[in-house]
Chain A
Amino acid sequence: MVSEEIWILIEIFLFPGFLFLFSLAFFTEWFDRKIVARFQNRYGPLHVGPKGILQPIADFFKLLSKEDITPRAADKVPFRLMPILLLTLAIAPLFCIPIMGSNGLISFEGDLVLIMFIMSLMALLVFIGGWASTNRFGTIGSIRAGLQMFAYEIPMNLSMIGPAISAGSLSVSKIVEWQINGVWNVLIQPVGFAVLTICLMAHLQRIPFDIPEAESEIVGGWLVEFSGKKLALIRLANDFEFVLASSLMASLFLGGPYGPWYISLITYLAKFLLCAFILSNLRAAFARYRIDHLLTGAWKYLTPLALLQVCLIKAWGI
């Protein structure tokens, strides 16, 4: 008879917990690189493991073994602390996402607000990291990261509030339950889904909006001084953010998992991969925008659209 505590430990460390999330993060990075490569008529990772699936892990360990330089002029504490904090903040919200069964590991009323808060904290951390590296390009990169945060923060939160209003609760699990017996949010709030996708692209700093680390202009932006273990952690945090973004889109708008634990896992993964595909497609289809395009675009189009969407839901009173 497996006692209760061991079962919880297994849940936290093994199945929907760390081990599963780590492998999901590495798998998603591989999936993203492979899809973008196929869009661009080339192969993508091939040689490490079957079809190159172990490539992200290999990159991670390679970076770990690399020399870890802390520049003399950088102020040490925030510079060293930032990657670790970024990784923990990236993993934390994933525990509120329902993967096995319709409620996540920790699901309480208001965990959607927790996720939103953590996501804006991450953008702040990026700013601090770039600023602490006191490199000229790093400073410009972190200013741009800050600017970008102002642009996408409000429309993103508004578009996340949409499903909460229609489901009448601020917990991701309850929203998923409401969608199971109700209708998928994406059908009644398509505009909200589009706005959320664009803002998540900006949050993940992916191609159309990878302005803070635009390598062809400011040589890597805020990432420029990080190397070795710090860079490994930051890239891993980036993968986790990608998993968080896709699973948010999947659970808030596409209905999330339902049915007994093994079917819910499959449905969750299917929707998750669909959202990851959408994000990869967007990454391959655009050139990089300038920071003022993003700011004007966000304030002129994204925020009003998100507001309109929220008013529509209230008006229908679902």
Chain B
Amino acid sequence: MAMENDMFKNLKEKPMTLRFPYERVEPVEGIRAKVSWDIEKCIGCSLCVRICPGNAIELIGRGRRAEIRYNVGRCLFCGECVDVCPTKAIYATEDFELVFNSRREMITHFKRKKNRKKS
């Protein structure tokens, strides 16, 4: 009963809920979502592999020619790897709507330009 005036005021206002597929809210600028590598800068120091709480990052090869296998399924989006990377090779993207239909798709393999011809 005590909510009457509040309810009638809401009758006129535009509803608060969003019609999701058609109306979207743009992510906040400091959002921490999926991370991605600029593989050329990576020096293969595997600091990010050790820091990652979800064991989502895997290093293949060593040194300058190392490649990264990044499993979004295990990633917690905590951003520790972004902070710990000495050469700032890892950057956070804004894409948080992640949908996959198989586990294999979750794993992205960052290859280097030179190696791509070989493997």
Contacts and interface: CB of A to CB of B under 8 A. Distances in A.
Contact of A285 (B1, B16, B19): B1
Contacts of B7: 39, 281, 284-285
Contacts of B4: 285
B13 A41 contact: yes
Interface string B1-22: 1011001001101011101000
Contacts of B10: 38-41
Contacts of B19: 43, 46
Nearest to B13: A41
Nearest to B14: A41
Nearest to A37: B15
Contacts of A284: 7
A191 to B, nearest CB: 18
A43 B1 contact: no
B112 to A, nearest CB: 47
Contact of B15 (A41, A281, A285, A286): A41
Interface in B1-59: 1, 3-4, 7, 10-11, 13, 15-17, 19
Nearest to B17: A42
A285 B11 contact: no
Contacts of A43: 15, 17, 19
B1 A286 contact: yes
B97 to A, nearest CB: 20
A184 B85 CA distance: 80
Contact of B16 (A39, A41, A46, A286): A41
Nearest to B2: A285
Give the most central of A41, A46, A284: most B CB within 10 Å.
A41
A285 B3 contact: yes
Interface string B53-79: 000000000000000000000000000
B11 A38 contact: yes
Interface of A: 37-43, 46, 281, 284-286
27 contacts: A37-B15, A38-B10, A38-B11, A38-B15, A39-B7, A39-B10, A39-B11, A40-B10, A41-B10, A41-B13, A41-B15, A41-B16, A41-B17, A42-B15, A42-B16, A42-B17, A43-B15, A43-B17, A43-B19, A46-B19, A281-B7, A284-B7, A285-B1, A285-B3, A285-B4, A285-B7, A286-B1
